[in-house]
A and B are shown apart, each in its own frame.
Chain A
């Protein structure tokens, strides 16, 4: 694994804070009805992404996830202004306003979505790895899912095939405790999700998903295994989301105390404490970072606000690669 240096900690702090504030801004503009549809926010889970990004090579490795997917593409290098614009439904968005909150993609930055059907992305992730193996490329796919998705058949079929074909893929369950309003305990007799991999003889294990260091260590090992021909790994990141499943979630299934307990091990706070303890930066330096984050979020909002709506043709032009596809006319 690459060493976790001062600059890594500082990057983690700034990245995770930006992701947190980016999501907070989305919540705010959602309430103002500028962003519509469903909105699933990542607050609390940032260490999973930060640790992963330290462990991979974003130039060749690939990320795919479900619908809690606004900040992963930003981590992979996508301009956050374009992600914000996508949520506004603007033509400058990552999918030209056709995808919305749940469907962010970036071919240029190896981010393969952004998928709205629980568990539907799991075979796709293995498929990316299949192609890399087929073409003898040196890439590894990181395939994310929530704790709800592991109850889908797609996970089990994919685990079996990924092991059978020895694909270079790392499956990562972000167990934030709740599949919408249903706790893990109410979805299966066995609550240690990582053990699902054992039935397929897949190297599997639990990880402290609130610590970017622990995540980076576990993902590094798994990526190295995949890249050297050792096949898939299944990691269960034990993490937590502070906000509801989506914006319409009243969260009656958990207590405020529970949320507060997790905030005590908040990944951003953890990283900030290390930075101050080890004197990687002063309180004043931190304030400069905080201001930079605030300004960038503002810039994203302004870009999204000022961007034009997509043209009518875009919803037709993007369906088929065939340019003269004869759609049925629908209006008189």
Chain B
């Protein structure tokens, strides 16, 4: 199978959907003439023209709201945020308008829209540029939240997100755009809300999503040398969450570690922990462990950033803890 970069997978997904559906357009800062701040829309202006690939000024609130309004009467916009850190100035439009429109209109107006862009840390960018808001968006009924971890998933999930009739938050990573992976030439889609078992195992379940899952995969390699068999679940979609995939795995391994690149308080890991204790409490042989960033804004210094971020060593330690090793 051919191998392409994550950014190419994103670009292919958007381009294929724009070819099949005239109502889809792409809007955002630097998406057109610059070919995307991270080149995820390379060539799209040339193919689709300026009416469907629109450069915007730095006005996230304004263009996010315009996109939501257009989605009320026939468009299916893709809104790119250069990073989700910048979505905060548009969050009123996402939470109060995109997410609520259908319910507060009594079901009259659905909002088929995708807000996409990178999430979480990307090197020494410090406090304002290293945040992960998956749990914030997932907290809000009306939204769906998708966080792929590789090119194959990114393409299949993004195509499904664009065709979805509800608003979708689609979160990528600056540090994944160059990642290469096998992506078939033929068209395919990955349904939202279905987790993927990245690695089968018997001793412990590790649940993660997004780019940080790579640390879990590294840890699993290490642990295998010690005879520990890890099962790794990639959530792919945070909301709706594939609870059954998690519960079934915990029933098999009886131990759970959750790895998330975000603050611990009210995190996705916290929600999983609640669901697991409520539904499969009797299957647990150890308290659940969660690995997150430090409970502080992201520091700049490389020494501190390394401590702030979760890594494979943290995963190894957590796995050993739930195994009482």
Binding site for B on A (CB under 8 A): 62, 64, 93-99, 103, 105-107, 112-117, 120, 122-132, 134-135, 153-154, 157-158, 160-161, 164-165, 314-315, 317-322, 325-327
Contact A124 B97 (CB under 8 A): yes
A113, B25: Cα distance in complex, Å: 24
Contact B62 A161 (CB under 8 A): yes
Given contacts A116-B96, A130-B70, A322-B165, contact A123 B65 (CB under 8 A): yes
How many angstroms between the C-alpha atoms of A4 and B93 in the bound complex?
Answer: 39
CB–CB B110/A99 < 8 A? no
Q: B57 at the A/B interface (Cβ < 8 Å)?
A: yes
The answer to whether A123 and B62 touch across the interface, beta carbons within 8 angstroms, is yes
* CB-based contact B108/A106 at 8 Å: yes
> Can you name 11 A-B pairs with beta carbons within 8 Å?
A99-B104, A99-B106, A105-B105, A120-B96, A123-B63, A126-B62, A126-B69, A128-B70, A130-B66, A131-B75, A161-B66
Shortest distance from the beta carbon of B175 to any chain A beta carbon, whole Å: 30
Tell me the complex Cα distance, A123–B62, Å: 6
Nearest chain A CB to B261 CB, angstrom units: 23
Closest Cβ–Cβ distance, residue A165 to chain B (whole Å): 8
Note all chain B residues with C-beta closer than 8 A to A325: 166, 240
Given contacts A120-B65, A127-B68, contact A93 B106 (CB under 8 A): yes
Contact A123-B66, Cβ < 8 Å, known A112-B72, A153-B61:
yes
- Complex CA–CA separation, A154 to B96 (angstroms): 14
User: Smallest distance from the beta carbon of A139 to chain B beta carbons, Å?
Assistant: 9
Chain A residues near B61 (CB-CB < 8 A): 123, 153-154, 157
In the complex, whether B193 has a CB less than 8 A from a CB of chain A is yes
How far apart are the CA atoms of A125 and B73 in the complex, in Å? 11
Selected from B57, B96, B106, B141, the residue in CB contact (under 8 A) with A94 is B106
With both beta carbons as reference points, the residue of chain B lying nearest to A106 in the complex is identified as: B108
Q: Is B102 an interface residue (CB 8 A)?
A: yes
Chain B residues closer than 8 Å to A126, beta-carbon distance:
62, 65-66, 69
B residues less than 8 Å from A115 (CB atoms): 97
B92–A117 touching, CB < 8 Å: yes
Set of chain A residues within 8 Å of B93, measured between Cβ atoms: 120, 123-124
For residue A165, which residues in chain B have a CB less than 8 angstroms away from its CB?
54
Q: Is there contact, CB below 8 Å, between A134 and B59?
A: no
- The number of inter-chain residue pairs (CB within 8 angstroms) is 151
A33 to chain B, nearest CB (A): 22
Inter-chain CA distance A327–B65, complex, in Å, is 26
The residues of A that contact B107 with a CB separation of less than 8 Å are 96, 317-318
Residues from chain A with a CB closer than 8 A to the CB of B158 are: none
- Does B67 have its Cβ within 8 Å of any Cβ on chain A? yes
Whether A124 contacts B68 by the Cβ 8 Å rule is yes
Task: Determine whether the beta carbon of A326 is less than 8 Å from that of B56.
Answer: no
A134 touches B25 (CB 8 A): yes
Q: Are B106 and A98 in contact (CB under 8 A)?
A: yes
Q: Which of B69, B104, B110, B112 contacts A103 (CB 8 A)?
A: B104
Q: In the complex, how many angstroms separate the beta carbon of A72 from the nearest chain B beta carbon?
A: 15
Known: A321-B110, A321-B166. A127 touches B65 (CB 8 A): yes
CA distance A97 to B142 in the complex (A): 18
A123 touches B68 (CB 8 A): yes
CA distance A47 to B68 in the complex (A): 30
Residues of B close to A98: CB separation below 8 A:
103-106
Task: Give Cα A161 to B75, complex, Å.
Answer: 18
